[in-house]
Amino acid sequence: MTNNVLGTWIHVNKGGTFPDCAVKAKKGYFYVCRCSSKPSFGFGKALLHEENDPKSGAVAWFPFEKKEHKETQFEVLVYKGTIVENGYEFYWKKLVKILQHPSDHEVYRENGFVPFEMYHKDYWAIGKLKWPSVAYIPSGNKEHVYEGKHIENGYALCFRKVSKVVIELIPESITPAMAKRKPASYLEGKYTTSLLPQEYTFRKNYKVVQASTFEISHGWSTSVEISLSTGLLTESVAKWQKSLSVTMQGNYVTTQETTKEEETEFTYPIKVPPYTTSTITATIWQEQLDIPFLAKETIYDQFNHVIKEHQTKGVWHGVSCYVADVNIQETFRKGFLLMIIVILGVLFHLFW
């Protein structure tokens, strides 16, 4: 299955059969089918065998040009599993309900036709619907055409797919003791003033490794939005949240670590008094945490309806943030002050 595919069609050979996971009618006992060699036929009805001949093999009937066409080679629509497993699903919906709420349903359509089931004479039959107003039903070697109120209570085949997953990650029992520190960078700068105090901004670049990202999936891909409820270590968690950007794929993973290295700038304002040399040193520490969390996952379809809510627990390994310890040492420039005193003394003797 590819991502958010609109179904899988299985070819049926003459005298063959098809799997019991083929898409079946809402009310009756027929299955959805199409004829790939004759696409103008649209959709029709199929059975595992002729009603009175179990050994006949699978057979299908299609409405086309006022006739019912019988075919022994065709395709059936197959679906196995759930929307959570596959990323999409099929369902039948009454036509009148779809037309009343068109923004809540999406019909399965090919070449303008939709698989359609309605009550015909004394049984429920599958045919095709020229969307959204004309139904064609194969029966008794004829193509029967219905419109208006006759088709309102029929069922059109719809599909929905996963369009978004929102994951709320709630850290559990976070304490400062959980953080493992190691020095990442050592930065240093010197600033000197003379007669007047000065203000400077200490600027140095250093490299950081971004926090690991969170991956989760059910075999299909979709966008993801992640919200985060913070506890302690707010700075760490905030940087963690900022690093999250995920396309979900693969199997369900609670501890998937990816790293990204980039250069960032450390800045720190400093005021230097007169006649002073200030030496500023900054030790950049990398904080790493293994954060236990509760993940609340909400899956939405293309109409922003909630498909499923799910909870799981896990541990996020290698969450990183960067903090700095700053130290400033001020050295008064005695020699500079002595020189000023000598100069003032000379001037005093010259002009007094």
pLDDT of residue 352: 63
CA distance 33 to 58: 11
CA distance 224 to 246: 6
CA distance 116 to 81: 22
- In this prediction, residue 208 has a pLDDT band, given cuts at 50, 70 and 90, of low
For 163-334, CATH number? 2.170.15
Average pLDDT over residues 200-205: 84
Q: 332 and 275 in contact (C-beta within 8 Å)? A: yes
pLDDT of residue 344: 63
**Which letter does DSSP use for residue 42 in this model?**
-
Averaged pLDDT score across all residues of the chain: 77
What are the C-alpha distances in Å from 300 to residues 68, 90, 224, 319?
A: 41, 15, 10, 28
Q: Reduce the DSSP state of residue 174 to 3 states and report it.
A: coil
Q: 183 and 284 in contact (C-beta within 8 Å)? A: yes
Task: Work out the end-to-end distance of the chain between its first and last CA atoms, rounded to an integer number of angstroms.
Answer: 100
Sequence-distant (≥ 6) Cβ neighbours of residue 140 within 8 angstroms: 68
For 70-119, give the DSSP string: EESSEEEEE--S-HHHHSEEEEEEEHHHHHHSGGG--B--BTTEEEEEEE
**Which letter does DSSP use for residue 65 in this model?**
T
Q: 197 and 138 in contact (C-beta within 8 Å)? A: no
Percentage with pLDDT > 90 across the chain: 35
Answer with the residue of higher pLDDT: 43 or 348.
43
7: left (phi over 0), alpha (psi -120 to 50) or beta: left
pLDDT of residue 327: 84
CA distance 268 to 221: 43
pLDDT in tens, 77-133: 999 888 877 788 899 999 999 999 999 999 999 999 999 999 998 999 999 999 999
pLDDT of residue 59: 95
Residue 146: its H or E element: strand 142-147
The two beta strands, 113-120 and 155-171, are antiparallel
State yes or no: pLDDT of 30 exceeds 60: yes
Tokens of residue 208, six digits: 């950081």
Q: Which residues belong to CATH 2.170.15 in the chain?
A: 163-334
What sign does the CA torsion over 203, 205, 206, 209 have?
positive
pLDDT in tens, 237-287: 444 444 433 333 322 233 344 455 667 787 888 898 888 888 988 887 776
Cis peptide before 269 (omega within 30 of 0): no
- In this prediction, residue 291 has a pLDDT band, given cuts at 50, 70 and 90, of low
pLDDT in tens, 44-86: 999 999 888 888 899 999 999 999 999 999 999 999 888 877 7
pLDDT of residue 245: 37
pLDDT in tens, 317-327: 666 666 677 88
Predicted TM-score (pTM) of the model is 0.61
What are the C-alpha distances in Å from 160 to residues 92, 104, 157, 307?
A: 11, 10, 10, 10
pLDDT of residue 301: 87
- In this prediction, residue 234 has a pLDDT band, given cuts at 50, 70 and 90, of very low
pLDDT of residue 129: 97
Sequence-distant (≥ 6) Cβ neighbours of residue 317 within 8 angstroms: 212, 255, 257, 290
Least confident of 124-128, 182-186, 200-204, 301-305: 182-186
312: left (phi over 0), alpha (psi -120 to 50) or beta: beta
Q: Reduce the DSSP state of residue 153 to 3 states and report it.
A: coil
Tokens of residue 61, six digits: 């009937």
**Which letter does DSSP use for residue 55 in this model?**
T
Residue 225: its H or E element: strand 223-228
For 21-39, give the DSSP string: TBPBPSSSS-EEEE-TT-G
Tokens of residue 23, six digits: 């898409």
What sign does the CA torsion over 143, 148, 152, 153 have?
negative
Answer with the residue of higher pLDDT: 292 or 44.
44
